[in-house]
Amino acid sequence: MLATIILKYFKPGHNPGTVVCFFMPRYFAVFQGTTYEEEKALSCLWAPKFGQNGQEFHHHKRLIEVNTGDRVIHLVKKRIVAISTVKAKAYDAEAPWLKDEKKPWLKDGRKVDVEIIELDDPINTDSIFDRVKNFLPEKYSPFNKDGGGNQGYFYEVGHQVFNIILNTDFEGEKISLDFVDQNLNTPTGSSINSKLKVNVRSSTWQKYFKNQLFKYWGIKCVLTNVQNKDLLIGAHIKPWTKSDDKEKIDVFNGLPLSPNADKIFELGLISFNEQGKLIKSSQLSNDDLSKLNINLDVTLDFKDEHFKYLNYHRLNKFKK
């Protein structure tokens, strides 16, 4: 069952008492093979409703379970090549590519629109299987007991598997000394609070988060206009260690910043007001700000979804 948190959120311009629903995302895996490039180009997932003999397959029908904000891991030939965010619930649609006239049952199906972010370094599933095998569902698992992919299209994997993938450093399995104990969300009704030690410097989640920000803001620092992607940092507005699983990778919880801008933002020497205008701490001089090539006249076009994070930063990090 999808967990829903309902709370009152106040922001200038909104009516007091506006009720906002926050949904905890679910996590899925899709095996695409030869359809990956087609579906990537169309920013979608698609599966037929019925098989040749009119039967329904669980791994196709599962598309109707997704909701906006859910995350999907894309697998091609035993490699995780991308992660996408679901943009809307599934809807009826014909196959979005040329249909095989010999297989008319492939015409009628369901489509899910997604926003795909490709990983800079695809992950071989063999490298994660020992870590995730104990968290895979007993029924309808995407992987068999030996780590191979089960035949099918679309499977639910759960938050533990998703977090293990993002929180493991796959670049030579480097070990970071900067660890935190992260309490992960537990399935609805569970009395056990899962704990997992995660690497907060994982190259996988850092690159994925930064690539999301690039897609949203463009490849540039939003304060200095530096455009060398190798010099840019995916900066969290609400700190990673204070964010829940959804917030850690929420594109609205970040800004692409150059190192200098990232540092003074992290230290709380700058923030943004309720109109998106840059504000400066009294502990930072105008001269230093100018030398850092940051203009106080900057105003960013934030969306409503940004403001819960900006409010957190202004109240908890900003040094007036």
- Encode the chain (320 residues) as per-residue pLDDT tens digits: 344 444 444 444 444 444 444 567 899 999 998 889 989 999 999 999 988 788 889 999 999 999 999 999 999 998 999 999 999 999 999 887 766 555 565 788 999 999 999 988 888 888 888 888 888 888 899 888 888 888 899 999 988 888 888 776 554 443 333 333 333 343 433 333 333 344 444 677 788 899 999 999 999 999 999 999 899 999 999 998 898 878 888 999 999 999 999 999 999 999 999 999 999 999 999 999 988 889 889 999 999 999 999 999 999 999 98
Same-domain pairing of 80 and 161? yes
Q: What is the pLDDT at residue 43? A: 93
Same-domain pairing of 193 and 106? yes
Which residue, 135, 195, 155, is CA-closest to 30? 155
Residue 114, domain extent: 24-204
Residue 212 lies in a domain: no
Q: What is the pLDDT at residue 151? A: 86
Q: What is the pLDDT at residue 2? A: 42
Same-domain pairing of 245 and 282? yes
Residue 304 lies in a domain: yes
Same-domain pairing of 170 and 281? no
Q: Is 274 left (phi over 0), alpha (psi -120 to 50) or beta?
A: alpha
Same-domain pairing of 233 and 192? no
Same-domain pairing of 181 and 223? no
With 0-12 CB in 10 A as exposed, 13-18 as middle and 19+ as buried, what is 295? exposed
Residue 2 lies in a domain: no
Q: What is the pLDDT at residue 25? A: 85
Q: What is the pLDDT at residue 319? A: 92
Buried-exposed string 117-145: b where 16+ CB fall within 10 A, e elsewhere: bebeebbebeebbeebeebbeeeebbbee
Residue 94 lies in a domain: yes
What are the strands, taking DSSP E only, across the chain? 4-8, 19-23, 27-31, 44-48, 71-76, 79-86, 91-94, 108-124, 154-156, 179-183, 195-199, 233-236, 254-257, 270-272, 278-280
Q: What is the CA radius of gyration of the chain?
A: 22
Cα-Cα-Cα-Cα torsion 147, 152, 153, 157, nearest 10 degrees, comes to -40
Same-domain pairing of 266 and 125? no
Residue 297 lies in a domain: yes
Q: What is the pLDDT at residue 233? A: 93
Q: What is the pLDDT at residue 111? A: 95
Same-domain pairing of 74 and 186? yes
Residue 14 lies in a domain: no
Length of the chain: 320
195: CATH: 3.10.590.10
Structure tokens at 301: 């076009």
Structure tokens at 266: 């992290």
Number of domains in the chain: 2
Q: What is the pLDDT at residue 163? A: 85
Question: Where does a domain end: 156, 172, 204?
Answer: 204
Is-contact 251 257, C-beta < 8 A? no
Same-domain pairing of 145 and 245? no
Q: What is the pLDDT at residue 103? A: 59
Residue 9 lies in a domain: no
Q: CA 49 to CA 37: how far, in whole Å?
A: 21
Q: What is the pLDDT at residue 99? A: 62
Same-domain pairing of 173 and 273? no
Q: What is the pLDDT at residue 106? A: 72
Q: What is the pLDDT at residue 178? A: 38
Please state, in angstroms and as integers, the Cα–Cα distance from residue 164 to each residue in 53, 89, 233, 252, following that order.
39, 26, 22, 22
Question: Where does a domain end: 177, 204, 231?
Answer: 204
pTM of the full structure:
0.75
Question: Where does a domain end: 158, 175, 204?
Answer: 204
Q: CA 160 to CA 78: how far, in whole Å?
A: 19
| Angle made by CA atoms 112, 307, 88, in degrees to the nearest 5 | 10
